[in-house]
Structure 1
Amino acid sequence: MGVFDSIRQVLGLSAEADASRDADPEDLFGMSTAYLTMEADLDFAPTGDAALCFANVDSTAFSRARDEVEAILELGEEEAGTTADFVEDSHGYHWVVLHDSDFESLVTSVHFAADTLVEAGFGSRLLAALFAFDRDEKTAYWVYSFRRGAFYPFIPTGNHERDQKVEFKLESVLDGELEVEDDTAYWYPMWPEGDAHPWG
């Protein structure tokens, strides 16, 4: 099974079939308080980066929805300072990548992008939302799986390895504050390409 098939199975069809609850973009607002706990209790500070990952659809309606997201985020850049990039990774997945030193603005922007696609009827194309944190040159991500309706921690350490000890520490501290995925089989590693973030 290739990387593309693994992502599709764990974050896509298999996760949807095994979903314990419906995904809801409103869940993303849990990060508005969780980031304070990450910083105060775990010394992980927000990097100012977040991203929404989705599978593209070759349709006019989807293009319109994506254009709406892009237009509103451009307005947001002028008003709030949140910048957005639209990128495609090497696996063919699309990302809305957001940058802002104000973490709550990041959460609001990711929620807006996800909610717009859901309202347009493309919620099934949403795969994950990621929020990045740093501590001692180590980057940790909280990943929200739209197919599972839950968060999980992911800390890559290089060479397709991850720091599971710290991941479980994050889970133990944030469980209850976030809807954390209780089946670790769905803690899918979204490996960075080189030293970059998973979105490249």
Structure 2
Amino acid sequence: MRDELKGHKAVFFGLPLDTRRRRLVCADIASRLRKGTASASQACFHHHCLNASKLTAVMRDDRLLAALSRADCLSADGMGIVWAARLLGIRVAERVTGIDLMTDLLAQFAQDGTRVFLLGARQGVLDQLQVILPARFPGLIIAGTHHGYEPDDEKLADCVAQTKPDALFVALPSPRKELFVDQ
């Protein structure tokens, strides 16, 4: 079960689990974004989080397994994943939750001038975030927002694309979130 992929990834139940600390994942994402926005080739960088609930869903959903397998970075979001990986001999540095990573990235993005899009949640929550986040992270540019209640993923993708953000944070339920990001 412990086949190494790269220096910071290990195969965990068929998935490429990233074993790094949050600060290193954050630095990598910010660096890749800076390089991507400075060049003409803007290949998307896909980050997902894995918790025990999602791992059990992967066992029943081939589409979810495929989407997570294609992620550039799959972090251990849950101590159950960290402990299971360690029991299998995989050295996971720490739990990397999506919200903690998002908070770190927002601070970095505010410094870098990275344009972000917030997708998901209720409209009232998004309205509050558009006030709270720039106050907490001076310089943060929110390129756009959209609630998560639109059933047509193509319409959502078009809405995001129209604002030309550098980064997209997705707060949709699983597995819709992972499938949306993958597509």
Question: RCO greater where, 1 or 2, for CA within 8 Å and sep 6 or more?
Answer: 1
Larger Rg: 2
Return the TM-score normalized by structure 1: 0.30
